[in-house]
Structures are given as C-alpha cells and as structure tokens.
Chain A
C-alpha cells in the first residue's frame, strides 16, 4: 500500500473574505485509490481541486504533496507529480489530437524545444489506453465535445503522474465511453496512482471508485466507500432533494425522485 500522496489539514479558502467556499477540510489521498468527489453545484469540489494543484492559494490550512508543503514545491515538480484536467475544455487553435496529447508531456521535457522519443512513446501509450490512436492526425477543433474530452483525458494520462485530478472528465461522454474512462482510471489507480475525480454522474462512477468524498457547503459531509456515502439519508441532506438509491451488486443507481423536493417541504 502506498503512502499518502496528499495530506490536507484544515484547509480554508474563500473568494470573498468571510464566506469560505472550502471550510476546514481535512483529507488524505493515498496512492492506489480512486476517489470520487461528489456534492451539489457550488459546494466547493472544483475549488478543492484547484487548491490541490496550487492554482489558488489557501487562506489557512495545510496541503502537503508527498510530505512537502505544496507552497514550497516548485511548479515544475507539482506538474510532474500531478496532472490536472480542468472542467472547461479549451483548445484555441486547430492542433491535432496527437499534438494535444503530446503537450501532456511538457512537465517532463520542460523548456526543451523538441519532444523526446520518450515523450512520443508516452503519448502513444496514453492514446492506446484511451482508445484514440486512430485520431492522432485529426484536428481537435473538429471533434465533438465528447471526443475532445477523451483527447484531453489522454493528455492527462500521458503525463504519467503520481496523482490525477480530474474535474468532471466524463460529463460529455456517452454511456459506453463513461464506463471506458472510469474503467481506465480504475486500472491506473490499481497501478498505484492516486485518482481524484469530481463527478456528478454518481451512478456511472459508483462501480469503479473505492472511495467517495461528499462535499457540502465547503465541508466534508461524508467520506468512505459507496455503502457508507451513497446512502439515501446522507445524499438527501447534502442535495436537498428526495433521492432514490438502487443497489445491484457493485452497481448503484442514484437519482432524484419525487417532485424534486424533500418530503415534508412545503409545496409552494
């Protein structure tokens, strides 16, 4: 069992003073685990990921990456250890899919002008794993949203980091590719990599993730396996809507039920 990749202690961050988006969050992320971060819109999931990349700095609390404070770890080193897939996919010029995946190797080749053959090999491996080898020469600007999401996933995989932070990597994928993507991330976690995924499609990720962190109002409301977190009462408390959870073996279907309100809430 690998040790903790991330140690997060009493992390607090707010865009406006006095109104924390992340409120005293304490969390350990270990290598080899596939952790799904779930919670309502605006609960602070994406902010937590951005804090973990160092893109934004916490007002208080500690983030240690591999035992060292994130703030005193160089950007290049963070980039080599952690690959981050932002929620919004931006590709502003017509690069080919192959070129985009190769850009995932930047943290390793650094300031070098040319890509090394190792970088090419890693990019090819990543494209094989995501199943997009055929697209190498296709223009990213011509791909559909879901296709582009898979190219950017391959880019994150190509970095071959110790931890992957992915913000809704599957939101644009259809049923099959959702299963493919989460299955791949499961494989990667099994290789000892820490995988943290922000997800709204709880049902799709339920089979693959071994840990669920439910964030609500900037706090960790529940943290544990699917049996512990994907619980009707806990989810209803977090989302403020009547929820149905149907279990079938490893699968859990989670969906809003009733009229979109909690039972007993007044009908306006």
Chain B
C-alpha cells in the first residue's frame, strides 16, 4: 500500500514541473513578491497545481470505480463504463452541445452539468431494470447495463450525425477527455464524491472477497448480498459519473489499474480498493505529464495517452504474469 501511495506522491510532486510555459521556480516560490506581480506564481497556483489535483482525484475515482465494478460483476473485464454510466454522461454532454444550452466555449459548466445529470439518470435506469427482489442479479445487471450503454451510444452517434462541424469538434474533444482546469471547483466535486463513496466501500472490502466465491457462499456466510451489490453499484456509478462529467470519459484507467494492483498485491479487496485509488491517481497524473511533454508544445488529450501508454504496459505485465490474471 505504501508503494502505491509513494507512486501517487512522486507523480504529484513531479507533475507541476512540466508544462507549456517555462516557470521561474525561484520566483514562483518567492512569497515576498505580491501575486499580482508574479505570473510564475499564478501559473503554478491557478494552472499547474489544479491540473495535477484534478488528474489525481479523477484517476483515483475512475480506478476505484473500476475495481468496485469488477468485484460487483465478478468479472475482470468490467470497467467503470461497462454499465453505461459513461455513455449516459457523454449523451448529456452531447445534448448540451447540440442544443447550445451554454455558449460556445468547450468544457463549460453546461457540459459538466449535462453529463453528471445523465450519468445519474443512467444509474437509476440500469438499477431499475436489473432490480429483482432485493438483489441486482449479476447477469441481468450486466445485460441491462451493456444494452443501455449501446442505446445511449447510438443516441450520441445520432446527435453527432445531426450536428454541425463545430459541435462535432467540441463533442469529439470532450470524448477524448481533458484535464484543463482553471479553478478548484471540479476537484472539490470529485473529491467529495470520492470521500462519500470510498468510505463505505473500504469498510465492506472484506465482504467483496466473499462475493468472489459466489452469491450463495457469501449469503450463507452472513453477508447481505443484495445490500452489498447496491452499495457497489451506486458507489461505482457515482464515482464514474463525477469523474466523467468533469474530465470526460477517460478510458482504460478504471480497467487496467485494478488489474495491475491485483498483480502486485493479490485479489484481496482490502488492498485492491485503496491500492487502485492511489495507483489510479498516480497513473493519470503520469499520463498527463506525458500528454504535455511527448509532442510539446502540443498537448495530447489524456484519453488517448491512457490507452496508448497503458495498453503496452499492461500487455507486458500480462506476458510475465498471465497466470495470476486469468480467472
């Protein structure tokens, strides 16, 4: 666990060192100069640091959401987006862009609002579709979620088809994700969700271990399987919705980070859940550093980097330790 915390901390410390503009560090950290006369300090405080913090909370939320979803569905292929929350969120953003509800600037609060509301709507729809007699049966939950995922995905395509060039551009950029931020509000939103969702998940981490042995085994051991499924589903959905609405549907973090963590610490969710959160935070910050430096001064969208960087890294792990992932 210390390893993952260290990874996250190192990434967080290194990250502000990279960026489009050169910062004079002596000047930026010199408190005797008033902020108004100190552009270096302004860049650090209002651009660099918020961006790192946003990457950390978003990466942590997505990875924790994915680890929870894998526990809930007992399926290592599950991710935060498996049950349609991200395509719901994307549809929300697409609706806002298509109907021009908020001006022309991209990543305005309008898309955030639309994406978050539609994420929650998706969560409620999938929950209602899958709910049976106090339970969310795994198979029905998976099929309902995946169907809604495709359904909303088709709506997004429809809106794209009907959109003009500029709207299309906005939406495509939104879907690639962005960690640009000028303030701390988005960070606080995700952080609040992270606190609210992670505490009950961590407390019940041991019950998720029993769930891996099957519903009957867990239920007869005294675990309230129905309640545990609802907690997992709602917490995972809220985390994904909060992150996606602020930074876009950045993929791969929520799928791969829990796997990498599991390969290092084993499948015990008492380690996998907090480990994923920390490693996810570090991973997205690391991806963000690369996205700003690889083709500098061009900044690549983080959604591209996570998979471009993550897939080869994961495949190399897979080659060496495949027996510990295959279930």
> When the two chains form the complex, which single residue of B205, B222, B324, B325 contacts A75, counting CB atoms closer than 8 Å?
B222
Q: Choose one: B212, B217, B220; the contact of A95 (CB below 8 Å).
A: B212
Residues of B within 8 Å of A54, CB to CB, are 220
CB nearest to A167 among chain B residues: B216
* Residues in A whose Cβ lies below 8 Å from that of B222: 75-76, 78-80, 106-107, 110
Whether A142 contacts B323 by the Cβ 8 Å rule is yes
Asked if residues A103 and B203 are in contact (CB atoms below 8 Å), the reply is: no
Closest-by-CB residue of A relative to B263 is A94
For residue B206, which residues in chain A have a CB less than 8 angstroms away from its CB?
106, 111-113
* Cβ contact within 8 Å between A106 and B221: yes
For A110, the closest partner residue in chain B by CB is: B222
Q: Do residues A94 and B266 form an inter-chain contact, with CB atoms below 8 A?
A: yes
A142, closest chain B residue (CB): B323
Interface string of A91-103 (1 = CB under 8 A from B): 1111110011001
- Residues in A neighbouring B76, C-beta threshold 8 A: 93
Whether B223 pairs with A106 at a CB distance below 8 angstroms is: yes
Closest Cβ–Cβ distance, residue B133 to chain A (whole Å): 11
Contact B209 A99 (CB under 8 A): yes
| Interface status of A84 (Cβ within 8 A of chain B) | yes
- In this assembly, does A82 line the interface, its C-beta being within 8 Å of a C-beta of chain B? yes
**Contact A93 B212, CB 8 Å, known A79-B220, A113-B270, A142-B323:** yes
**A95 near B266 (CB under 8 angstroms)?**
yes
Main DSSP-derived SS at the A contact region: mixed
A55 contacts the other chain (Cβ, under 8 Å)? Answer: yes
Residues of chain B with a CB closer than 8 A to A104's CB: 221
- Contact of B212 with A91 in the complex, beta carbons under 8 Å: yes
**Is A248 engaged at the interface, CB distance under 8 Å to the other chain?**
no
A75 to B210, alpha carbons, bound, how many Å?
Answer: 15
| A-side interface residues, number (CB < 8 Å) | 35
Inter-chain CA distance A120–B108, complex, in Å, is 54
B216 and A141 contacting across the interface, CB-CB below 8 Å: no
Interface membership of chain A positions 42-82, coded 1 if the CB is closer than 8 angstroms to chain B and 0 otherwise: 00000000100111000000000000000000011011101
Q: Is B268 an interface residue (CB 8 A)?
A: yes
CB distance from B249 to the nearest CB of A (A): 26
Q: Is the CB of B213 within 8 A of A139?
A: no
- Interface status of A90 (Cβ within 8 A of chain B): yes
A106 to B207, CA, bound (A): 8
Q: Judge whether A134 is part of the interface by a CB distance below 8 angstroms.
A: no
B214 pairs with A103, CB closer than 8 A: no
A84 touching B262 by the CB < 8 A rule? Answer: no
A102 to chain B, nearest CB (A): 9
- Which one, B75, B205, B216, B262, contacts A113 given CB within 8 A? B205
A103-B327 contact given A93-B212, A95-B209, A113-B205, CB 8 Å threshold:
no
- How many angstroms from the CA of A113 to the CA of B323 in the assembled complex? 28
Q: 7 A-B pairs, CB-CB below 8 angstroms?
A: A50-B216, A86-B217, A92-B212, A94-B267, A96-B266, A99-B266, A111-B204
Interface residues of B (CB under 8 A from A): 74-76, 203-207, 209-210, 212-214, 216-217, 219-224, 262, 266-268, 270, 323-327
Given contacts A79-B222, A100-B213, 6 further A-B contacts (CB under 8 A): A80-B222, A95-B212, A111-B207, A112-B206, A113-B205, A113-B270
9 closest Cβ contacts across the A-B interface?
A79-B222, A90-B214, A93-B267, A92-B74, A76-B222, A84-B220, A92-B212, A86-B216, A106-B221
